[in-house]
Amino acid sequence: MSATTPAQRRALAQSLPPLRDDDRAAIEGFLDAFWAETGSAQQTNDAYRRDLEGLARWRDGRDGGVVHADRAGLFDYLAWRTRHGWSSRSNARLLSALRAFFAHRLRTQARGDDPTALLDPPKLPRSVPKALGESEIDALLAAPDVSTPEGLRDRTMLELMYACGLRVSELTDLPANGVNLRQGVLRVTGKGSKERLVPMGDEAQHWVARYLHEARPALAGGRSVPTLFVGTRQQPPTRQQFWALVKRHAAAAGIDPARISPHGLRHSFATHLLNHGADLRALQMLLGHSSLSTTQIYTLVAREQLKRLHATHHPRG
C-alpha cells in the first residue's frame, strides 16, 4: 500500500539500505563545491544532502551508484517517490538538487552528459499564502502571559515575526547584537547569507526593550547565548520550538492551529502592508526577496480579500 503520511514516508526512507562510502564522498564533494560557488544557505545544503542521499540509498550501488545514474534511473526514482506520496513540490526540489549535482559532475569532467537535461519538473500548483486577519493577529499577540519570562519572550518573538516580516530561521537565528533599538532596526541575515536592515515599529521596539530588560537575563541564567532569543536549557531556540509555541498561542487565542503555517505571521505582515497601500518594491526589500515575482504572490492574497470584502458589503456583490 502506498505511504501517504509524512510518518509513513519517513519510515519508508529509513528502511532503505545505508549510504555507501563512494556515494557519500561524491555527495560531500559536490556540496562543498556548491557552497563555495553559490554561498548557499545551510538549509539548502541540508535539503540537497537529504535528497541526494535518498537517491543514493534507493539505488544502493546499482549500475554505478548515484554518480552514474541515467535518465531512466532518475525517472524511476521520481516515479517511486510519487507512488509513495511525496508531493510535487518535494520532487521539484529533488530535481533541483539533481540538476545542480550533475551540472557539477559535467563541469568537472567527471561525467560527459547530464541525465537531468530532458527531465521535466513536476507541475506545481500556485499556492496562495495563508494570512490571518488583523483582529486575529491582535488576539494571537495578546495570548502569551507576559508576566513570565517565557511569555514575554514568546510575545516578543511573535511581535517581531509579524512587525518585521521575518522568516522563521531569521527570527530564531537573530544574533543578540543584530538589534539596534536606538535606530529602531534589525540586521537580518537571510537566504544566501544576504544581510538586510529591517525597521521595527514602536510597538516592536517596546517589546524588545522589555524582553531584554526583564526576561532575557532570567532565561539565559548567566550564560552567554549568541542569539537574541533564548530557548530551553539556555540554548538558542529551534524553528520547531517556535512553531510549537505559535500553535499553542493560536489555540489559546481561539484560532484554529491548522490555519497557521510556519510562515503565517510573515505572510500576514506582507498582506496587511499591501492592503494598507505599501509599494511592492518596498515590500520586496523588507521581505528580502531576490526576485519581485516572489513578492507578487502576495498581491493575490490582497486581491482575494478585496473580492470577499466586496462580495460581503457591496449592494451588487
Active site residues: 167, 191, 263, 266, 289, 298
Q: What angle do CA 261, 198, 38 make, to 5 degrees?
A: 75
Torsion of CA 87, 88, 93, 99, to 10 degrees: 130
DSSP 227: B
- CA 175 to chain centroid: 18
Q: Which residues, other chains included, contact 19 with Cβ-Cβ below 8 Å and sequence gap of 6+?
A: 53, 56, 57
Distance CA 140, CA 143 (A): 5
Q: What angle do CA 199, 166, 88 make, to 5 degrees?
A: 150
Which DSSP string corresponds to 122-190? Answer: PP---PPPP---HHHHHHHHH-S-TTSHHHHHHHHHHHHHHHHT--HHHHHT-BGGGEETTTTEEEEE-
Count H helices and E strands in the chain, helices first.
14, 3
Q: Which of 162, 247, 254 is nearest to 207 (CA)?
A: 162
Q: Residue for cell digits 537529504? A: 50
Distance CA 33, CA 17 (A): 26
Q: Which residues pair with 227 in a beta bridge?
A: 175
